[in-house]
């Protein structure tokens, strides 16, 4: 599971039918004209889809029901998807399947223009707007979790959403005690565009597939990138083959547990840390 631990349920069939009916109504189509959807432009289909979802959400609200997370996605059809992911029967299906799960350090943070901070003063000003009286504690927690932090961006370009969900999924799986869990965090920063990409979403893919040269616009194509790709691709191959990502090119990668929080940080120097950012995440996500 790479940067995608959404702990959610599939759409119930009754709700999917309501959204589908609203879409057809928006497009002035009858159920027997469903093939016409393939001939409608993306722009028109997308606009109609958004209107349909809004209408269903409004009707649900009027009924005193929640329309949160309503959208286009997998449907619990009872055949291809027979169970909700949280159902005991679904959990039993994968109880003996090892899990490798993780995220990138900054995910979507580099895409936010507000995070382009040229100085530490600007970084602290931004953080104060977000964390108020907790700002100093937050900055101390950053330094504790990542002692190498020195640039202004090192204090603002974090992802806490995907990382928290990955930890939740790892905890749930590890607590079953029937199959091993391995946690990673991709912290390598791309040198492209003076480091503007940082460790953004999908940055790990050229490393996992050992395709550094094909993605030089993302990776820069340097020797350090190639060296890390060799380590990561071998780990993923070993995990696919055996359920264990360990190999001689990496430090020993222990099984993850909620207690040890063991996480492999993939960078020019790969290291395993235990619950290294637990305090930072708690500070950042506190209400």
Residue 19 structural domain:
7-83
Check whether residue 171 and residue 248 sit in a common domain. yes
Check whether residue 79 and residue 174 sit in a common domain. no
Q: How many domains does the chain have?
A: 2
Question: Which of 83, 111, 144 is the endpoint of a domain?
Answer: 83
Integer Cα distance of 277 and 280 in angstroms: 5
Check whether residue 119 and residue 234 sit in a common domain. yes
Integer Cα distance of 82 and 149 in angstroms: 47
Which pLDDT score is estimated for 4? 87
Check whether residue 125 and residue 199 sit in a common domain. yes
* pTM (2 d.p.): 0.88
Is the separation of the CB atoms in 157 and 201 below 8 Å?
Answer: no
In this prediction, residues 3-29 reach a mean pLDDT of 92
- CATH number assigned to the domain comprising residue 220: 3.40.50.1820
Q: Where are the alpha helices (DSSP H) in 201-277?
A: 205-208, 216-219, 223-242
| Strand pairing report for 262-266 and 181-186 | parallel
Domain membership of residue 1 (yes or no) is no
What tokens were used for 161?
A: 């959403």
Sign of CA dihedral 65, 70, 75, 76: negative
Segment (H or E) for 141: helix 135-145
In DSSP terms, which residues pair with 11 in a beta bridge? 75
Check whether residue 228 and residue 251 sit in a common domain. yes
Check whether residue 190 and residue 75 sit in a common domain. no
Question: Which of 49, 83, 117 is the endpoint of a domain?
Answer: 83
Confidence category of residue 9, pLDDT binned at 50, 70, 90: confident
| Strand pairing report for 99-104 and 181-186 | parallel
Check whether residue 215 and residue 115 sit in a common domain. yes
Check whether residue 104 and residue 203 sit in a common domain. yes
Could you give the 3-state DSSP secondary structure of residue 246?
Answer: coil
Domain membership of residue 190 (yes or no) is yes
In DSSP terms, which residues pair with 101 in a beta bridge? 183
Question: Which of 22, 57, 83 is the endpoint of a domain?
Answer: 83
pLDDT in tens, 47-70: 999 999 999 999 999 999 988 778
Check whether residue 121 and residue 245 sit in a common domain. yes
pLDDT in tens, 167-188: 999 999 999 999 999 999 999 9
Check whether residue 38 and residue 153 sit in a common domain. no
Nearest Cα residue to 69 out of 5, 23, 11, 4: 11
Integer Cα distance of 274 and 250 in angstroms: 16
Is the separation of the CB atoms in 150 and 229 below 8 Å?
Answer: no
pLDDT in tens, 199-226: 999 999 999 999 999 999 999 999 999 9
Q: What is the largest CA-CA distance in the chain?
A: 62
pLDDT at 36 over 90: yes
Please give the span between the terminal C-alpha atoms of the chain, in angstroms, as a whole number: 28
Sheet containing strand 262-266, strands side by side? 99-104, 181-186, 262-266, 271-274
Domain membership of residue 128 (yes or no) is yes
Domain membership of residue 138 (yes or no) is yes
Check whether residue 105 and residue 19 sit in a common domain. no
């Amino acid at each position: 599971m790479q940067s995608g631990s959404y702990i959610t349920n599939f759409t119930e069939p009754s709700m999917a039918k309501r959204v589908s009916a609203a879409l057809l109504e928006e497009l002035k189509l009858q159920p027997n004209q469903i093939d016409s959807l393939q001939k409608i432009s993306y722009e028109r289909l997308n606009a109609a889809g958004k209107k349909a979802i809004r209408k269903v959400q409004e009707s649900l609200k009027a009924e005193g029901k929640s329309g949160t997370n309503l959208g286009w996605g997998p449907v619990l059809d009872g055949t291809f998807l027979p169970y909700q992911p949280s159902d005991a029967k679904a959990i039993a299906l994968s109880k003996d399947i090892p899990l490798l799960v993780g995220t990138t350090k900054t995910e979507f943070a580099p895409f936010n223009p507000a995070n382009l901070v040229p100085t530490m003063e600007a970084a602290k000003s931004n953080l104060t707007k977000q964390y108020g009286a907790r700002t100093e504690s937050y900055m101390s927690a950053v330094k504790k979790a990542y002692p190498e932090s020195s640039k202004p961006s090192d204090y603002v370009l974090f992802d806490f959403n995907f990382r928290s969900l990955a930890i939740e999924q790892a905890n749930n799986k590890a607590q079953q005690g029937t199959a091993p869990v391995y946690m990673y965090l991709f912290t390598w920063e791309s040198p492209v565009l003076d480091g503007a990409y940082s460790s953004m979403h999908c940055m790990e893919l050229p490393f996992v597939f050992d395709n550094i040269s094909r993605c030089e616009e993302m990776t820069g194509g340097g020797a350090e990138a190639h060296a890390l790709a060799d380590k990561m691709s071998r780990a993923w191959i070993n995990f696919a083959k055996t359920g264990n990502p360990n190999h001689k090119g990496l430090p020993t990668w222990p099984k993850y547990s909620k207690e040890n929080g063991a996480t492999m940080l993939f960078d020019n120097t790969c290291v395993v840390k235990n619950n290294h950012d637990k305090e930072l995440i708690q500070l950042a996500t506190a209400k």
